Amino acid sequence: MEKLYDYEKEKEKILKKKPEIKKMYDDLQLKYKLIETVIEYRARNNLTQKDLAAKIGVQQQVISRFERGLVNPRIDFVQKLLNATGKDIEVVDKR
């Protein structure tokens, strides 16, 4: 799968230039990391949104809205995504 642009490079460039955007990004980092993980998982496994939706028992529109960042997912939905992608979340003390 050919990349049209380097997402990480562009993201870092924007975050360095705009501290207000970096703050918002940091506040939403978990949400967007999960979105990124799901999209990458689908791409690696040649799955459509419909395929993933069927795998976790939701409608395709639910995956679409999630991937576009339009919803704040419930914990049970996040758990289904983690189970499907073979990932886990670890809570660490940042102090």
Please tell me what DSSP assigns to residue 86: T
pLDDT, position 3? 57
* Residue 2: pLDDT band with limits 50, 70, 90: low
**CATH hierarchy code of domain 7-85:** 1.10.260.40
* Residue 64: pLDDT band with limits 50, 70, 90: very high
Per-residue pLDDT reduced to its tens digit, 8-62? 888 889 999 999 999 988 888 889 889 999 999 999 999 999 999 999 999 999 9
Longest C-alpha distance within the chain, in Å? 41
Give the residue extent of every domain in the chain. 7-85
Q: Where are the beta strands (DSSP E) in 1-95?
A: none
**pTM (two decimals):** 0.74
Paired tokens of 43: 């791409």
